[in-house]
Amino acid sequence: MTDDDLSAIRSRYLGVDKKKRKIRKMNDRKFVFDWDVQEDTFVAEAPAAVGSQRQGAQIMFGRGHIAGMDDGGGVGVRKGVPVDSNLTDAMERRKAAKAGYDDRHWTEKPLEEMKERDWRIFREDFSIAARGGNIPHPLRSWEESTIPKEILKVVEEVGYKEPSPIQRQAIPVGLQNRDIIGIAETGSGKTAAFVIPMLTFISKLPPFTDEIRHLGPYALIMAPTRELAQQIESEARKFATPLGFKCVSIVGGRAVEEQQFNLREGAEIIIATPGRLKDVLERHVLVLSQCRYVVMDEADRMVNLGFEVDLTFILDQLPSETMAGEERGEAMDVDGETMVRKGRTRVTTLFSATMPPPVERLARKYLKRPAIITIGEAGRAVDTVDQKVEFVAGEEKKKQRLLEVLNTGGYPSPIIVFVNQKKTADMVAKDLSRAGWNAATLHSGKNQEQREAALKSLRDGESDVLVATDLAGRGIDVQDVSLVINFQMANTIEAYVHRIGRTGRAGKQGTAITFLTNDDDEVMYELKQEISKSPVSKVSPELARHEAAQHKVSREMKRKRDQDEVD
């Protein structure tokens, strides 16, 4: 059979394959350039010169950039906006100038020329994140703020050169009389961030006269420890006293009668620990009928110390009526007197280094439409602390190494040494005294007068070293602490962060040295992660290689492992 016969049989029984015309979609059509694919189209001349080579082009002055005329080179100059020299194409330059492109850094621009892009860069520069809607722009400087002049004058007298990151964002929000959740690193200048808006607010309220003194304070600040409360009182007085406002602290360790005597003439601002404040309220020594501004500082620490029930009791004592329209999301009135007249309940500010579930519960219940401000990463140590780790086995070797570090002379006083037990604190302080160091101790075994004396001796330079338990891990503000030594590693990474936060404060550099043993394996993984996040610290090879630093070890895992070793 021939090929023609086979083809005829196939077409008879299988049919004939007709070639269908392929329909090309409009957007599938291949674009054909005016030049061949083999041609070299690169021309080094300016784009205007390319236009002059077009066939049939007519030179028309003022009509585009054909023939090199009106190439847009002067557009940016005419509008006073510099155009990036990298935009060599005339069309690109013209588009950039029309869009107002400005490559100057925000530090080179006046406030009125700042655009949203500049503000985004500004927030990135200071690691500021804010959410909650209608967030005002952060402060670039004290002079550009809307803080009242009399308070700005006090800021200058106190010596605040530049606002810290938390102050840059929290103060503008606070000046709007808006609730705030501030999540910031320890040692970040939180106190002034809430004191300045608070004083601005109460300065607009009616004068504190004899007729209203018995109704309680205008503002209430709560802190977890006596030491932190007294530190806040000291800081608040710097601002409040020149403005004619009175601050009184209510803390444990002192007789209630003494504090009752201090309150006899009333005070616009009360700084208190939750436990003692609850006691005073239950005794009817104090009422909060006209308290319009509430601050909870280090709320996570208050919850960890078991004050959640006390906080709920205190907050429930506050005026509970709501400003008309507020529940519908209307803007808050920024006039303090109008807020009182309309029945606005209060302004509530909550600061915390971390946000555990109990703190979130408090925030959801007592804060209305808060602005949430996060500085850096929640629960992180400040970036000005150089964190070092040394493996030292045994108490005697730790004491020897402690003296070696102190005797190098590389760390001027004051220095803080942290331990986990009261007896260890007393023992280490005694050894330091024998070695010629002036050492003070701070722990729960000391009464209030002894604690205050220990801190005063460190601040005044009478003591070189303070040996403390975690009681002093938060809130103690001793200026220019050059070195923190963790003689014993903290039980949690949060406590570690708060310990080392005593140094490297207010933008200054600090060092933290931690003595580790194999018994600290529960926190080694998180410690390695914490140090690796720091731009000024390096994880030691020994910690990086340690088995416990490769994965997180829970207490249950450790208990089972120890039990297996015994068996």
> Is 330 a member of any domain?
yes
Which of the listed residues 350, 375, 400 is the one where a domain comes to its end? 375
CB 318 within 8 A of CB 270: no
Which of the listed residues 338, 354, 375 is the one where a domain comes to its end? 375
Least confident of 214-218, 373-377, 532-536: 373-377
Whether 508 has a pLDDT exceeding 90, the answer reads no
Are residues 368 and 410 located together in one domain of the fold?
no
Strand order in the sheet with 269-272: 128-131, 371-375, 180-183, 347-352, 293-296, 219-222, 269-272, 247-250
Cα gap 394→118, rounded to integer Å = 54
> Is 321 a member of any domain?
yes
> Is 460 a member of any domain?
yes
Whether 6 has a pLDDT exceeding 90, the answer reads no
Q: What is the mean pLDDT of residues 270-299?
A: 91
In 3-state terms, what secondary structure has residue 213? helix
Cα gap 487→434, rounded to integer Å = 18
Whether 68 has a pLDDT exceeding 50, the answer reads no
- Measured CA to CA in angstroms, residue 376 lies from 39, 166, 302, 337 at distances of 54, 10, 22, 36
320 phi-psi bin (left φ>0, alpha ψ -120 to 50, beta other): alpha
Beta bridge partners of 286: none
Cα gap 31→138, rounded to integer Å = 50
Amino acid at 360: E
Q: Tell me: the pLDDT tens digits for 522-532? A: 889 989 988 88
Whether 262 has a pLDDT exceeding 70, the answer reads yes
CB 106 within 8 A of CB 118: yes
In 3-state terms, what secondary structure has residue 407? helix
Name the token pair of 196: 């300045």
Are residues 301 and 241 located together in one domain of the fold?
yes
Residue in the block written with tokens 């927030």: 123
Whether 50 has a pLDDT exceeding 50, the answer reads no
> Is 9 a member of any domain?
no
Which of the listed residues 375, 401, 434 is the one where a domain comes to its end? 375
By CB atoms closer than 10 A (0-12, 13-18, 19+), residue 503 is: buried
Q: Find the CATH number of the domain harbouring 224.
A: 3.40.50.300
> Is 27 a member of any domain?
no
Are residues 218 and 366 located together in one domain of the fold?
yes
Name the token pair of 559: 């208990």
- Measured CA to CA in angstroms, residue 315 lies from 98, 287, 340 at distances of 55, 12, 18
Whether 192 has a pLDDT exceeding 60, the answer reads yes
Are residues 355 and 437 located together in one domain of the fold?
no
At residue 104, the pLDDT reads 74
Are residues 485 and 539 located together in one domain of the fold?
yes
Residue in the block written with tokens 């209510």: 250
* Per-residue confidence band for 83, with pLDDT thresholds at 50, 70 and 90: very low
Segments in 187-319 forming alpha helices (H): 190-202, 226-240, 256-262, 274-282, 299-304, 308-316
Are residues 299 and 394 located together in one domain of the fold?
no
By CB atoms closer than 10 A (0-12, 13-18, 19+), residue 275 is: middle
Considering the chain, what percentage of its residues have pLDDT values greater than 90?
A: 24
Residue in the block written with tokens 């083809």: 7
| Of residues 421, 523, 414, 514, the one with CA closest to residue 468 | 421
Cα gap 16→283, rounded to integer Å = 105
* Per-residue confidence band for 101, with pLDDT thresholds at 50, 70 and 90: low
Amino acid at 380: R
- Measured CA to CA in angstroms, residue 432 lies from 391, 422, 440 at distances of 21, 16, 10
Please, what is the average pLDDT of the chain?
79
Are residues 150 and 214 located together in one domain of the fold?
yes
Are residues 498 and 538 located together in one domain of the fold?
yes
Name the token pair of 159: 């010596």
At residue 115, the pLDDT reads 85
Cα gap 451→417, rounded to integer Å = 15
- Measured CA to CA in angstroms, residue 124 lies from 101, 117, 121, 189, 382 at distances of 20, 11, 5, 19, 16
Cα gap 392→515, rounded to integer Å = 6
The pairing of beta strand 247-250 with beta strand 510-516: unpaired
At residue 314, the pLDDT reads 92
Counting the structural domains of the chain, the total is: 2
Least confident of 49-53, 371-375, 552-556: 49-53
Q: What is the mean pLDDT of residues 128-153?
A: 88
> Is 170 a member of any domain?
yes
| CA angle (228, 232, 234) in 5-degree steps | 115
Structural domain that includes position 159: 116-375
Are residues 356 and 422 located together in one domain of the fold?
no
> Is 528 a member of any domain?
yes
In 3-state terms, what secondary structure has residue 131? strand
At residue 62, the pLDDT reads 46
34-51 burial code (b ≥16 CB/10 A, e <16): eeeeeeeeeeeeeebeeb
Are residues 203 and 257 located together in one domain of the fold?
yes
Are residues 171 and 275 located together in one domain of the fold?
yes
Whether 519 has a pLDDT exceeding 50, the answer reads yes
Name the token pair of 350: 């909550």
* Per-residue confidence band for 126, with pLDDT thresholds at 50, 70 and 90: confident
In this predicted model, which residue has the larger pLDDT, 283 or 66?
283
> Is 5 a member of any domain?
no
Whether 495 has a pLDDT exceeding 60, the answer reads yes
CB 54 within 8 A of CB 66: yes
Whether 493 has a pLDDT exceeding 90, the answer reads no
At residue 472, the pLDDT reads 57
Residue in the block written with tokens 């410690």: 527
Give me the phi and psi of 288, to 5 degrees please: -120, 40
Of 34-43, 72-81, 146-155, which one has max mean pLDDT? 146-155
Q: What is the mean pLDDT of residues 108-137?
A: 84
Name the token pair of 70: 């009106």
Considering the chain, what percentage of its residues have pLDDT values greater than 70?
A: 74
* Per-residue confidence band for 269, with pLDDT thresholds at 50, 70 and 90: very high
Least confident of 148-157, 168-177, 381-390: 381-390
Are residues 314 and 401 located together in one domain of the fold?
no
In this predicted model, which residue has the larger pLDDT, 242 or 50?
242
At residue 208, the pLDDT reads 84
